[in-house]
Amino acid sequence: MSGRVVSVSASEPRIALVHDFLSQCGGAERVALELSRLFPDAPIFTSIYRPERTFEEFSTRHVVPSFLQNVVHPDRFRRYAPLYPRAMASFDLSDFDLVIASSSAFGHRVRHPNCHVYCHTPPRFLYQPASYGGVNWQTRLVGAGTWPLRLADRAGARAKASYAANSLLTRLRVSQAYGIDSRVIHPPLAVARHASPPHPLPARPSLLMVARLLPYKRVDLAIAVANATGLPLVVAGDGPERARLAAIAGPTVRLLGRVPDEDLPGLFAAASLVLVPGVEDFGYGPVEAHWFGRPVAAVAAGGPLETVADGVDGVLVPGDDVEDWIRAVTSALDRPWSPTDLRAAAAPFTPARFRSAVLDWLGLAPLPSAPRAVAPGGGDHRDVGEPVPELAHHRGHRRLVGGNGRAALHEEGDRRHDLERAR
């Protein structure tokens, strides 16, 4: 972690943190960890806590699991989705003045009059069930049967003091799901603590993908590209898709499983190009790649529209056609890239900027710039297609602002696009 950690003194509000479940090492857990660094004395309330499966630093915090702790098996935690709202609502948070919920599932269902939600995405189980298993009769049945849960979820969300979203796409989804405006606060770049200069690009071309092995990450598409081109592909990450992906992986593909953070610099140093084929709400992949001086080939939808400038620090691929991806990868590998320039593209996503933005959102500390007017529901007065100052320099960001900004987000990033991405 770079920069100075700002904490709240004992004389300031009593703060509690909430996170959906601490049983994996994902981007949402990185945000929860950074919030705990900002407020180190705040307890973390969560549905289940498995210290051996999440970031070790959580073991130094006061973690309070729910009654599901001894009920839910960590390998099957998604099966218990209907129980999580009740688990979150069971916490007594009356001793706290301020509650900050990090939510991509049901963390926002805690009960407190001054609860502010940092949203990674509205619950996929309710609004994007195909994200975990493709579009089939089962996901359609689940979608049709969850409308009572969606009604309760919307009511719970609308009772909160304010919302912040991790990206413009998530801001759009929050608006669609809940009718709530939210300000955009991009997640912190955890690998920024690796401050050594980026390595030169390797002489031998090779591909890298860092992601949990879930259907919406589209690791299968990355494998298809490697199989077709014969390029080496390293996949760092674990998840329920591992057996299926291993079955389709060719001889040039290596599935490493979960990789500790200290091994990431070496993986990026050995890669020529980082692949991000899945539609991400934000997605750490492009930002981490840029920090380590590597270009990105990413789908032209969702988070990469905010983090990848086509032709400047990577290439954007319009869709999931394997031939289109092969052409894009081949083109990217033929281009000259400057690792130093690529690292500069990650500058807006440092932990220090995240902490400053969170304090400003919560009204705990002012930002150096003039404050923006706060709209009802905690968002600022920017429309969905209006600029985010931290990304004003970024060509990819300019695609989302101006007259066609809203249309671009709807066309390239709305949840219907995700639901219909059948393999």
The upper half-sphere exposure of residue 301, i.e. CA atoms within 13 Å in the direction of its Cβ, equals: 20
The pLDDT of residue 412? 33
Given a contact cutoff of 8 angstroms between Cβ atoms, the answer to whether 111 and 160 are in contact is no
Rounded to 5°, the CA angle 308-311-313 comes to: 45
Domain boundaries, the chain: 15-188, 192-347
Strand ranges inside 120-246, DSSP E: 162-165, 183-184, 207-210, 233-236
Burial (CB count within 10 angstroms: exposed 0-12, middle 13-18, buried 19+), residue 75: exposed
244/94 Cα distance (integer angstroms): 46
Given a contact cutoff of 8 angstroms between Cβ atoms, the answer to whether 34 and 356 are in contact is no
Nearest to 199 by CA among 265, 295, 262, 139: 265
Spans of the chain, pLDDT less than 70: 1-11, 130-145, 365-423
The pLDDT of residue 8? 41
330 phi and psi, to 5 degrees? -60, -40
79 phi and psi, to 5 degrees? -65, -20
165/388 Cα distance (integer angstroms): 12
144/186 Cα distance (integer angstroms): 32
30 phi and psi, to 5 degrees? -65, -40
Right CATH number for 15-188 from 3.40.50, 3.30.70, 3.10.50, 1.10.10?
A: 3.40.50
Domain 192-347 has CATH 3.40.50.2000: yes
The pLDDT of residue 396? 40
Query: What is the tens place of the pLDDT at every residue in 180-211?
Result: 999 999 999 988 888 889 999 999 999 999 99
380 phi and psi, to 5 degrees? -95, 180
Burial pattern 402-420, b for ≥16 Cβ within 10 A else e, equals eeebbebbeebbbbeebbe
The pLDDT of residue 25? 87
208/185 Cα distance (integer angstroms): 27
